A and B are shown apart, each in its own frame.
Chain A
């Protein structure tokens, strides 16, 4: 844990994350998320699937280099069934990479940008975490945190939920975030990217595909 990790995980990092809801906007539109309890279920599901997958990729990216960038990015693609989600992850990755190269210039980030112009967000997150001196477990924790905090904020904006209640919910998820990071870090310690967590979340895939086909949208994803 270091100060750089706090900066990297902070929602105020100007890397475009504020406009992504990670499926929450569509879940609200469908009625699946309508109060703090349903949001809690949504976030737990998200963390156990997309969150764990992102955490594994971010942890693996901390030690990636050379041909490993394209390989890891392909692993991310293989774990992201929905084209809309792939697009959103690549857009967020490209934006994070661009701002990170100005904030934390590092040869590894230049190498990643050259290898994959619009990498998946967790891959960039891990690469940037490494550039700031964070461990694979730190990177995984940032990815897990990111997987629930953005959607939680979107729910506050869309449903007018009590922000303190929602933050209490996030605090309650903290042990699960730690567990997710630990699981992801040990999976990546095995050193084989094909063995990284690959939990599918068909409901999230469907939400993403419905969302992108919706005419009135406030969020990009």
Chain B
């Protein structure tokens, strides 16, 4: 942290930079496992960076580094002062700093993943930080959770429901979850998975790959010149 970054501004419209993907969701739903899985599957074909927002120090970043799915230097940890949602929604400055720091050190990158600290159903990423976002739930929170909604469930570009292998054990009805999620998401995609069984999160990786290709197609052109550079 804290290196002397070069003095340049990224164009706010995203030209010339990587796609920024936010991953949010409640504590224990599988956000870090998803990040590890995406790194495992996408790492060989994409230039990646990861920013973690740990509630406690560098727990998640350390987990990812130990998992060996990505060069440890490409994983940056941000502390959020007791308020994980503030750091991804109201005051995104430290996260932007971390993302831009990764791009300056390792860029150009194709994808930077920002993992939120575990939060509640009201958490959502600012559009100033994440271009696209995934909200991760798990079945063990109960099959009523999608019905309860909240901006993560209703507006995330992808809703991922994890730990389907536990559904019979906790009495969660996946049909109910699927129906309720569809009802509040206005056609936006919902995927079910068990990251314990699918350690590459292949369905999610495929969705992300589509986003990255689409982003590159629209934003890799040289940035328009501005007077504030």
Could you tell me which A residues sit within 8 Å of B by CB distance? 12-21, 87, 90-91, 94-96, 98-99, 101-102, 105, 110, 113-114, 117-118, 154, 157-158, 214-220
Closest 4 CB pairs of A and B: A19-B81, A16-B93, A14-B91, A95-B93
Is the CB–CB distance between B91 and A98 below 8 Å? no
A113 neighbours in B (Cβ, 8 Å): 7
- The A-contacting residues of B in range 68-97, CB under 8 angstroms, are 78-83, 86-87, 90-94, 96-97
A67 vs chain B, min Cβ distance (A): 17
A88 vs chain B, min Cβ distance (A): 9
A15 neighbours in B (Cβ, 8 Å): 91, 93
Is the CB–CB distance between A14 and B82 below 8 Å? no
Is the CB–CB distance between B2 and A19 below 8 Å? no
Pick from B6, B56, B79, B96: contact of A220, CB under 8 Å: B79
B175 at the interface (CB under 8 A from A): no
**Number of residue pairs A-B, CB distance < 8 angstroms:** 90
Is the CB–CB distance between A215 and B82 below 8 Å? no
A80 vs chain B, min Cβ distance (A): 13
B1 at the interface (CB under 8 A from A): yes
Q: Assign chain B's interface to a size class.
A: 20 to 34
| Extra contacts besides A117-B5, A118-B5, A157-B81 (13): CB < 8 Å | A16-B97, A18-B81, A19-B79, A19-B87, A87-B2, A94-B2, A101-B9, A110-B228, A118-B3, A218-B55, A218-B56, A219-B82, A220-B81
Pick from A14, A21, A101, A219: contact of B90, CB under 8 Å: A14
Is the CB–CB distance between A98 and B2 below 8 Å? no
B79 neighbours in A (Cβ, 8 Å): 19, 217-220
Is the CB–CB distance between B55 and A95 below 8 Å? no
Could you tell me which B residues sit within 8 Å of A by CB distance? 1-7, 9, 12, 55-57, 78-83, 86-87, 90-94, 96-97, 228
Whole-angstrom CA separation of A18 from B79 in the bound complex: 10
A219 neighbours in B (Cβ, 8 Å): 79, 81-82
Is the CB–CB distance between A118 and B81 below 8 Å? no
Whole-angstrom CA separation of A219 from B87 in the bound complex: 12
A154 nearest in chain B by CB position: B81
Is the CB–CB distance between B7 and A117 below 8 Å? yes
Is the CB–CB distance between A95 and B7 below 8 Å? no
B57 neighbours in A (Cβ, 8 Å): 214-217
Is the CB–CB distance between A105 and B228 below 8 Å? yes
A114 neighbours in B (Cβ, 8 Å): 7
Is the CB–CB distance between A91 and B228 below 8 Å? no
Pick from B2, B6, B86: contact of A90, CB under 8 Å: B2
